[in-house]
Amino acid sequence: MTDTNVTTLPLYTIDYRTLSYASGPLLFVENVHGVGYGEIVELRGADGQVRRGQVLEVDRGRAVVQVFVGTRGLDLEKTEARFSGDVARMGVSLEMLGRTFNGSGEPIDGGPPLIPELRLDINGQPINPWARDHPAEFIQTGISTIDGLNTLVRGQKLPIFSGFGLPGGEMAAQIAAQAQVKTGEEFAVVFAAIGIPYHEAAVFRRSFEASNTLERTVLFLNLANDPTIERLLTPRVALTTAEYLAFRHDYHVLAIITDMTNYAEALREVSAAREEVPGRRGYPGYLYTDLASLYERAGRLKGQKGSITQLIILTMPDDDITHPIPDLTGYITEGQIVLSRDLHRKGVYPPIDVLPCLSRLMNAGIGPGKTRADHRQVADQLYAFYAEGCDLRRLVAIVGETALSEEDRHRLTFAEQFEQEFINQGQTNRSLEETFAIAWKLLRLLPARELKRIKTEFIEHYYEDTVDGKQGKGSASLDFPSNSEA
């Protein structure tokens, strides 16, 4: 039985029976010749069982092989190693849409074997920076705090920083089911789950089936009891599939990867087995480079219709945003969405902490001219009022609410209503128009004269109150032109 769909061309030459040592998922082969980095190795035991691995290092005739399913039960004296002369490749086809695969790319949904159109290098192809196009145009996630305040843009890579016990995985499934573009173009979701328990995998499947979005989704599931080394393959096979759909068939692809913390832990385990000098908190010194090799596979290319947008979910150990995994991820990506344990305790879902969140490419995706101005100004005003309200909560704990001015009480009320009505939306799929209808409803809790970050013309158009003696139109939502709804 083969252990992975990551295959290679049949270019076998020499069989080696010089296996000298095994450590965790690593195998050492002596006296090799003409072997290259990244080459695929086939290991055949005395019982005929075949395992595959990949060359991690070659030094003075010794090859270090990373075995995809581990080395447990491998008899070194009776096992042969064949070096293929080719890198790891994955079979891809449009038939993958609507299918479920394991972390190595094998179908696990009971469907027929995949007939590949192409076999692509799972490490992807380097993209010339000159060929990259700037990320632009809006992807609607259905979540107000993202669409309204931290807009996701086609070609962007945006992480969600979660914590143990927080609903990061639940949010990932909700976004995968709700995400859409509004221009009628082909849209697909590639969902990769790394190191998750079986019950969580079942939740993901049921979520896609219930939302009737499974036919546009490719699902990769690496379970907690699967080989650890497979976790290093899962994001690579998922992103290879995304590249195939985006750049060969012009799909706009949203690649959702959860949980990158499990990926980094697997990388640390392999590094320890190789006896490498550890970096911060025991992670390898090349963690930044390795993560960048995955995250930088997002983007748009000049002259290509398709795009790859990455939404990366990771769990912060001890809720520490300075931990190496979120810290390095934040350097590579274009912003972050942070989940709050305090909001989660209050029963708010999704528990997104608005204040430390950021989307650096938001302005590129919210439309030109007037549309961009009113979206940006409303978002800035919501953020400012909520930040002031949170500061006042701390002040109230010291001096009491009776010491506050009327204006301060307005801010305090706004912060409470903002959490309960804007952030707390449950599993509801909100359109952008619904998001801004709620935003203006909340802004009307305060006098129009306090909306200092919004131009008078927008206040007159959307605010149901008198502004300088003129009656506002009271429109509940923004009027978005078609070219901003992409």
When pLDDT is cut at 50, 70 and 90, the band that residue 3 belongs to is low
| pLDDT at position 389 over 60 | yes
When pLDDT is cut at 50, 70 and 90, the band that residue 402 belongs to is confident
pLDDT at 59: 86
| pLDDT at position 233 over 80 | yes
| pLDDT at position 415 over 80 | yes
Mean pLDDT of 68-75: 83
When pLDDT is cut at 50, 70 and 90, the band that residue 477 belongs to is very low
pLDDT at 406: 83
Mean pLDDT of 260-288: 91
Could you tell me what percent of the chain has a pLDDT over 90?
50
| pLDDT at position 87 over 90 | no
| pLDDT at position 6 over 60 | no
Between 243 and 4, the higher pLDDT residue: 243
Residue range 6-87, CATH number: 2.40.30.20
pLDDT at 146: 95
When pLDDT is cut at 50, 70 and 90, the band that residue 481 belongs to is very low
Residue range 369-484, CATH number: 1.10.1140
| pLDDT at position 331 over 90 | yes
pLDDT at 275: 83
The string of pLDDT tens digits covering residues 458-473 is 888 888 644 444 444 5
Which fold, 91-365?
A: Rossmann fold (3.40.50)
262 to 194, 218, 288: CA distances (angstroms): 6, 20, 15
What is the overall mean pLDDT for the chain? Answer: 87
Please give the Cα distance from 248 to 242 (Å, whole number): 10
| pLDDT at position 253 over 90 | yes
| pLDDT at position 204 over 90 | no
Torsions phi, psi of 357, nearest 5? -80, 155
Q: What is the pTM of this model?
A: 0.86
When pLDDT is cut at 50, 70 and 90, the band that residue 373 belongs to is low
pLDDT at 228: 82
Mean pLDDT of 86-100: 91
pLDDT at 118: 92
Please give the Cα distance from 77 to 17 (Å, whole number): 7
pLDDT at 75: 87
Mean pLDDT of 200-218: 84
The string of pLDDT tens digits covering residues 169-195 is 899 889 988 988 866 788 999 999 999
Sketch the domain layout of the chain as residue ranges. 6-87, 91-365, 369-484
pLDDT at 7: 54
| pLDDT at position 480 over 50 | no
